[in-house]
Amino acid sequence: MTTEVKENERKLTIARAMAEALSQEMRIDPRVFVMGEDIGALGGVYGNTRGLLEEFGAERVRDTPISETAFVGAAVGAAQDGMRPVVELMFVDFFGVCFDAIYNLMAKNTYFSNGSFRVPMVLMTSTGGGYSDGGQHSQCLYGTFAHLPGMKVVAPSNAYDAKGLMTAALREDNPVVFMYHKGLQGMGWLGTERGATVHVPSDPYEVEIGKAAIAREGSDLTIVSVGIGVHHALRAAEQLEGEGISVEVVDLRSLVPLDREAIRTSVAKTGRLMVVDEDYHSFGMSGEIIATVAEHDPAMLKAPPARVAFPDVPIPFARVMERYCLPDADKIVTAWRTMQLRERT
Amino acid sequence: MTTEVKENERKLTIARAMAEALSQEMRIDPRVFVMGEDIGALGGVYGNTRGLLEEFGAERVRDTPISETAFVGAAVGAAQDGMRPVVELMFVDFFGVCFDAIYNLMAKNTYFSNGSFRVPMVLMTSTGGGYSDGGQHSQCLYGTFAHLPGMKVVAPSNAYDAKGLMTAALREDNPVVFMYHKGLQGMGWLGTERGATVHVPSDPYEVEIGKAAIAREGSDLTIVSVGIGVHHALRAAEQLEGEGISVEVVDLRSLVPLDREAIRTSVAKTGRLMVVDEDYHSFGMSGEIIATVAEHDPAMLKAPPARVAFPDVPIPFARVMERYCLPDADKIVTAWRTMQLRERT
Amino acid sequence: MTMQPTTAQKLWMYEKMVTSRRFEEAIARIYLEGKQPVFNMANGPIPGEMHLSDGQEPCAVGVCVHLSAEDVVTATHRPHHQAIAKDVDLKRMAAEIFGKQTGLSGGRGGHMHLFDPAVNFACSGIVGQGLGPAVGAALSRKMQGKPGVAVAYIGEGAANQGAFHEALNLASVWKLPVVFVIEDNAWGISVSKMTSTAVPHNHVRADAYAMPGHRVENNDTLAIFAVAGEAIERARAGDGPSLIEIETSRLAGHFMGDAEGYRPNGEKDALVAKDPIPAFRRHILETGEAGEDELLAIEKAASKAVDEAIAFARHSPDPEPADALTGVFIEAKPQGADA
Amino acid sequence: MTMQPTTAQKLWMYEKMVTSRRFEEAIARIYLEGKQPVFNMANGPIPGEMHLSDGQEPCAVGVCVHLSAEDVVTATHRPHHQAIAKDVDLKRMAAEIFGKQTGLSGGRGGHMHLFDPAVNFACSGIVGQGLGPAVGAALSRKMQGKPGVAVAYIGEGAANQGAFHEALNLASVWKLPVVFVIEDNAWGISVSKMTSTAVPHNHVRADAYAMPGHRVENNDTLAIFAVAGEAIERARAGDGPSLIEIETSRLAGHFMGDAEGYRPNGEKDALVAKDPIPAFRRHILETGEAGEDELLAIEKAASKAVDEAIAFARHSPDPEPADALTGVFIEAKPQGADA
Ligand SMILES: Cc1ncc(C[n+]2csc(CCOP(=O)(O)OP(=O)(O)O)c2C)c(N)n1
Ligand SMILES: Cc1ncc(C[n+]2csc(CCOP(=O)(O)OP(=O)(O)O)c2C)c(N)n1
Ligand SMILES: [Mg+2]
Ligand SMILES: [Mg+2]
């Protein structure tokens, strides 16, 4: 039984959880293979393909040229031909060089073909800033991907969800964009959000795509977020708990499909909504979530909903400037106070 | 005086209004030049560069290879070097092959350089469906462009605004994305929305970027839209007027900067909000506008706000299917009725 | 020794070329229904853009004659001739072009989005978009050890798109069974190859990817047959990709409604005079491989097939409008690894 | 006759190379401050990714020695040597790398986004991203009838990016004064050129764009000088673009923190043994163009310049955090046509 106890305590980083899901599915499904830049010998810049080359060889773990249009397009072609490619876009910021293959082919061919062509593939991509990588290597772009129809979009906040969502994605018959936040990968050199490294069962399992999780229950305020924002929200919740404020944190996990039900249920309970989003403020996730509640019933809202999002500016390099822009627990607490002031009494 | 009367009646299509603004600025500003596919001898697939090659020659009116990454990137380089390029992306749907040059360079170099590099350029691009051009030639993508910081985004609903916004864009020191809707161009072969072809003064003038217009005043319902949606809204407003409902129509004209003040002022008056958006439903313009009101004061809303947007599906080819998805006056009227039913009494 | 088609192959090619031409003629006729006196793309039984392939048939048949259903073709925005040569179901293809429920995609795709999984055919509307998927299909075959080559068709204008460069390099680095075929009709809409392309001919670009590059002049069906046959054999043998550029002619406008004012005077007439279908017909008669009667029978059969396809399309029902909301995602769970 | 640098040019190149190396050494040292014992990119006076250029200096100086301030350079994610050779203000560049208010962009850009309008220098973080802008700057000069060539630097890995193809074709079609320079350090992060590129060397790709292509082996400063000099002269003369690939060596990891486990054993040592700076130093001494003293003086001056720049950066204030929200758009109206 001691082994079982150890097993229950097995904590993994998101990077290792992703790699484990990949290798477990590759063992049972010969159609799964991985391609991208530096995913072979290097094991992925963010560690999420570590060990795969050694186990599966260069035929199934393919380093590519720096040709995103070609290799994402190739993934679409391979998926349509019966394979289940996993393709890595090293930074989501690079989507601009290959988005046609993503949003016009990967996302739409199922519809255009009325399902006679299937595109079961996973596009993994790193998101997020906070370590001064400048404005072309720090974006989240959640809204950009979630806005365009035909691709599911997931963004785990912890290793348990990461493994389960990856396994689910690999077994999906649809294209899934898997957005992992660099600050959660558990690579020491990017800082480590401890809350992301959690117990991960060693057997394969799925986390349903499209279902939010209640990361913390509460009754006064609903904070909706995804990825690293969930951890900021949890920290703010702790702090506010000391003041007697009970915060519920909804971890969306998936942006597409969006679990509108979970959002509305929580706000119906708390009467207050805040969205924490590291992506840009306008025309993105934060607006959509506020609209999701408002269009359902604006009277549910006891106070104006608030957003703690990245302002509509390119991401500055300088640490003090980037920190000024990035959501964090303090900004959430401040937004709460403003919300309180604005609440009609 | 007869000439003056004629002058006052001079109606132009948006296509001609755009071409006129271009040629007038090209006459006074040698830095302005135009490049893109088929903008020379053909005069632009949508007529908006007609006559320019004849007047200014092939040096300033440059047909390009089908190399959007290169020529949009080249426009950035030329703008930074003191020119004022106007570049055409024939269909906005093609943005996926060249978005890096747009959103990472054109939009961000001003910020990255702290203004020591300027990028005064105009990216013209056609949007919209309604004529069965299929899912890669019918998109609007307003949300996609408006979400990412660093570019102004305009989308006129009529020829007067088209000329004024184009002139303003050409005189801007910032990059402007000029989104023109194919259904409004006044090219017969794409159908013609008569309301878009309006009087256009022959002298140059500017329409301020970032300022919405009240296309129609009303007191019961605010409809916020842009481009062709404004015309659907106006038609629905006429119809509802017969029923004694007074509709105010806000024509945003610019998505970035977004005139939140105008939206809120109107909703403050009417107490009801509907957004009409030919772009995809989720994570886009419609959510942002609803959030703009809700985060200001949800109590302003007497009824849940509504959206009449393109559903989250790729744009189908078949006429009956596309029509089913596209916003139109009937769907607006229906949405109004639903809103009425849902209004708390 | 250059490869020579058998008589059966020649007759197959002739039949497909004629079928394609008859099909385009029918489409062109019907396309104008409801669009007169005012031409509005949105109207008539076939709305939207229409890119006809008249004149480019040799590129389709000279390549596809070497392919079977298991081989993969990714075609362009001008896909009808390629689809017909790849044996795409003509009725369902016509119905798709009409936007009918019986269409290949139930009307969701339309003329630029024809998908027929039975013969591994797909096309798309963005220039150069099929290149990556063709490389991927070839990779899939190689990884699975399954037979099959992939052919990616593009126009000469597409050879200046970044996707071209990336796809050819990747195919070569991974030595994949794919053949890139450029239909060089000298125009990308109104922009001539000369003003858009740094080299006179794109086959020289093959050197940049260490693959064989071939040019076929004069829209010559037999020469295409030979060059494509060798490239496809090479791919099947595991020797990697090739690039072929074929001089061909666009006998119609870029799309229907294109007045082609940008064409030099007389250019179009000269092209019509060199129409490859009558030329190939003469060739067959001259070699005696078939007589007038046999060719008439083929032509009749082609017309009949087209008529039937068009009738099928015309008489098929429209899709249910609300079905527009379905089919974005595959709903069912996959069958698992051994599905 | 190949072009030969004057002694002054040689000493200029030597000085710039040494300055660049001293600069990278200083950056490397300071970069590690605050990142030990745990290496976390977010910490220390210089946070973020850091791509050092050690070993690649000849590519910078051998080209830029032919340029003046009015010429345009678009550089890469590994830009320090190129910036220094282009005479970018060293103090403000260092301050930008530190994220200080006195930086070239007041801290908004960082090490991959250095902009100096005084010498027409820019760089960026996405592979191949500078190619289009260089072509556009060249177009601007041609249209304005102003002098100046544009040089676009890329790595050999970037030569497989679509932007490469499109930019070279466009530059050639429009016969623009631009020179494309590939710094071939044999690696794109952990992926070797051999496994990513279909041809052994990229200069052959110039044929696909009807422009001259040159390869310089062995990281040879003098050979680079000659080849680049000719290409730039050609561009200035209005004869159009050229492509140059230079064999060079990345003496550091891809970025700081890269353990380089993917490198074959011994490769790195061999590269260090061929360090181009000592080699060039020996050359100068051997030709007698300068003596030990003079070179020491140059080295001392370089160190001093670097020390001053670093000190300037260190002692400069941080930006105002809230200034992050400003500068997205130019606020003022332009001056009008004749501004
Ligand atoms: C990326 C992209 N840019 C532009 C277009 C618009 N467009 C459609 S077809 C075409 C011309 C294509 O020329 P070519 O490749 O020679 O094919 P052809 O039409 O001659 O068959 C253009 C510019 C597009 N569909 N995709
Ligand atoms: C489009 C794009 N893809 C991937 C990357 C990530 N990346 C940064 S540098 C690099 C390697 C570049 O190799 P090379 O062009 O040879 O330049 P080097 O780093 O060797 O100087 C990669 C893959 C990027 N920045 N942009
Ligand atoms: Mg063509
Ligand atoms: Mg390299």
Q: Model confidence over D297-339: pLDDT tens digits?
A: 999 999 999 999 999 999 999 999 999 999 999 987 544 443 3
**For residues B116-123, average pLDDT:** 98
Separation of alpha carbons B154 and B169, rounded Å: 9
| Mean pLDDT for chain A overall | 96
Q: Do A317 and D100 touch (CB under 8 A)?
A: no
The two beta strands, A11-12 and A198-199, are antiparallel
Q: Which of A 194-253 lie inside 8 A of B, CB atoms?
A: none
Residues of B with CB under 8 A from a CB of C: 37-38, 40-42, 45, 63-70, 93-94, 96-97, 130-137, 188-191, 311-314, 316-325
What's the rounded mean pLDDT across residues C264-280?
97
* D329-338 exposure pattern, b = at least 16 Cβ within 10 A, e = fewer: beeeebeeee
pLDDT (mean) for C155-179: 98
**Cross-chain residue pair A132–D47, CB shorter than 8 Å:** yes
The bound ligand whose nearest atom lies closest to the alpha carbon of C258 is 1
**Contact residues on chain A for D106, CB-CB shorter than 8 A:** 318
- Phi and psi dihedrals of D147, rounded to 5? -70, 170
Percent of chain B whose pLDDT exceeds 70: 97
Between chains, do C330 and A77 touch, taking CB under 8 Å as contact? no
Q: In terms of residue numbers, what domain contains C179?
A: 7-323
Are A71 and C169 within 8 A, CB to CB? no
CA B110 to chain centre: 23
Asked whether A332 and A308 are in contact (CB, 8 A), the reply is yes
Give CA–CA dist B72/B125, Å, rounded.
Answer: 12
Contacts of A269 (CB under 8 A, 6+ apart): A219, A222, A248
- In tens, the pLDDT along B28-83 reads 999 999 999 999 999 999 999 999 999 999 999 999 999 999 999 999 999 999 99
For residue C126, the CA-to-ligand 1 centroid distance in Å is 7
Whole-number pLDDT of residue B345: 61
Distance from CA of B245 to the nearest CA of D (A): 41
For the annotated catalytic residues of A, the residue numbers are 137
pLDDT for A51: 98
Q: Are B111 and D327 in contact (CB under 8 A)?
A: yes
Catalytic residue among B137, B181, B232, B281: B137
Instruction: State whether D143 and B112 contact (CB < 8 Å).
Output: no
The secondary structure of C95-154, three-state, reads HHHHCCCCCCCCCCCCCCCCEEHHHCEEECCCCCCCHHHHHHHHHHHHHHCCCCCEEEEE
The atom of ligand 2 lying closest to the CA of D156 is: 16
Per DSSP, the residues of B169-187 read HHH-SS-EEEEEEGGGS--
Q: How far apart are CA C139 and CA C118, in angstroms?
A: 19
Q: Which pLDDT does position C333 carry in this prediction?
A: 56
Mean pLDDT of C269-296: 98
At A6, is the pLDDT very low, low, confident or very high (cuts 50, 70, 90)?
low
Mention every residue, 6+ apart, whose C-beta is less than 8 A from residue B14: B48, B156, B158, B159, B162, B180, B184, B185, B186, B196, B197
Q: Which ligand is nearest to the CA of C158?
A: 1
Structure letter (DSSP) for residue A62: E
What is the residue-averaged pLDDT of chain B? 96
> Ligand 2 test: best mutation among A37, A38, A45, A66, most atoms within 8 Å of CB?
A66
Chain C residues with CB within 8 Å of chain D CB: 160-166, 168-170, 172-173, 195-199, 204-205, 207-211
- Give first-to-last CA distance, chain C, whole Å: 45
Shortest-distance ligand to the CA of residue B126: 1
Please check the confidence at residue B167 and state whether its pLDDT lies above 70: yes
Average pLDDT over residues C227-247: 98
Q: Which of C116, C120, C330 sits opposite A110 (nearest CB)?
A: C330
Interface touch B77/D136, C-beta < 8 Å: yes
Burial (CB count <10 Å: 0-12, 13-18, 19+), residue A57: exposed
The answer to whether residues B89 and B36 touch, using CB atoms and an 8 Å cutoff, is yes
Cβ-nearest to C132 among A29, A33, A73: A73
B112 contacts in chain D (CB < 8 Å): 105, 108-109, 113, 115, 124
Going from the Cα of D184 to the center of ligand 4, the distance in angstroms, rounded, reads 5
C15 alpha carbon – ligand 2 mean position (Å): 50
Architecture of domain A11-199: 3-Layer(aba) Sandwich (3.40)
Express each pLDDT in C128-164 by its tens digit: 999 999 999 999 999 999 999 999 999 999 999 999 9
pLDDT band, very low/low/confident/very high, at D2 (cuts 50, 70, 90):
confident
Q: How far is B70 from chain D (nearest CA, A)?
A: 5
**CATH value at residue D19:** 3.40.50.970
Task: Provide the shortest C-alpha distance from residue C300 to chain A (in Å).
Answer: 31
3-state secondary structure of C40: coil
Ligand 1: does its nearest atom lie under 6 Å from the Cβ of C127? yes
How close is the nearest chain B Cα to the Cα of D336, in Å?
Answer: 7
Q: Where are the domains of chain A?
A: 11-199, 213-344
Q: Which atom of ligand 1 has the smallest separation from the CA of C185?
A: 20
Give the pLDDT band (50/70/90) at residue D1. low
pLDDT digits (tens, 9 = 90+) for B220-269: 999 999 999 999 999 999 999 999 999 999 999 999 999 999 999 999 99
Q: Which residues in chain B are closer than 8 Å to C186, comparing Cβ atoms? A: none
The rounded mean pLDDT for chain D is 96
Residue B190's pLDDT band (cuts 50, 70, 90): confident
What is the structure's pLDDT at D336? Answer: 46
Binned at pLDDT 50, 70 and 90, residue A191 comes out as confident
Query: What is the D63 CA–ligand 4 centroid distance (Å)?
Result: 18
Point out the residue among D100, D109, D321 whose CB comes nearest to the CB of A134: D109
Ligand 1 pocket, C253 CB below 6 A? no
Ligand 3 ion: residues within 5 Å (CB): C 155-157, 185, 187-188
C160–D168 CB contact, under 8 Å: no
Minimal Cα–Cα distance from A174 to chain B, Å?
Answer: 14
Q: Is D334 inside any structural domain?
A: no
Residues within 6 Å of ligand 2 by CB: A 37, 66, 68, 90, 94, 97; D 77-78, 125-127, 154-158, 185, 187-189, 250, 254
| B30 interaction partners in chain D (CB closer than 8 Å) | 337
pLDDT bucket at B6, cuts 50 / 70 / 90: low
> Which of D51, D59, D76, D77 most suits a substitution to test ligand 2, by most atoms within 8 Å of the C-beta?
D77
Between CA B102 and CA A96 the distance in angstroms is 8
Domain count, chain D: 1
Chain A: residue whose CA lies nearest to B255? A283
Residue D264 lies in a domain: yes
pLDDT tens figures, A257-288: 999 999 999 999 999 999 999 999 999 999 99
In chain A, the residue whose alpha carbon lies closest to the alpha carbon of D96 is: A318
Distance between CA D303 and CA D307 in Å, rounded? 6
The predicted structure's pLDDT at residue B5: 46
Q: Which of D54, D185, D189, D193 to mutate to test the pocket of ligand 2 (most atoms within 8 A of CB)?
A: D189
What pLDDT was estimated at residue B8? 64
Give the residue, by CA position, lying nearest to ligand 2 atom 20: D188
Query: C181: CA distance to ligand 3 center in Å?
Result: 12
C38 part of a folded domain: yes
Contact A69 B97 (CB under 8 A): yes
Q: pLDDT tens across A44-71, in order?
A: 999 999 999 999 999 999 999 999 999 9
Which residues of chain A are within 8 Å of residue D45 when distances are taken between CB atoms?
none
**Mean pLDDT along residues B142-146:** 98
How does C309-338 read in b/e, with b if 16+ C-beta sit within 10 Å? Answer: bbebbeebeebbbebbeebbbeeeebeeee
| C263 falls within a domain | yes
Helix (H) / strand (E) containing A147: helix A142-147
Residue of B37, B317, B324, B328 to mutate, interface with C, max C Cβ within 10 Å: B317
- Chain C residue with minimum CA distance to D195: C173
The third-level CATH classification (topology) of the domain covering B213-344 is: Rossmann fold (3.40.50)
Tens digits of residue pLDDT in D185-244: 999 999 999 999 999 999 999 999 999 999 999 999 999 999 999 999 999 999 999 999
Query: Beta strands of chain B (E only): which ranges?
Result: 11-12, 32-36, 61-63, 84-91, 122-127, 152-154, 176-181, 198-199, 213-216, 221-225, 247-251, 254-256, 273-280, 306-310
pLDDT in tens, D276-304: 999 999 999 999 999 999 999 999 999 99
Tell me if residue B65 falls in helix, strand or coil. coil
Whether the predicted pLDDT of D160 surpasses 80 = yes
Name chain C contacts of D172, Cβ cutoff 8 Å.
Answer: 198
Residue range D62-81: mean pLDDT, rounded: 98
**Interval A294-344: pLDDT, tens:** 999 999 999 999 999 999 999 999 999 999 999 999 999 999 999 999 997
Which chains share 3+ C-beta pairs under 8 angstroms with C? A, B, D
| Percent of the residues in chain C that have a pLDDT greater than 70, as a whole number | 98
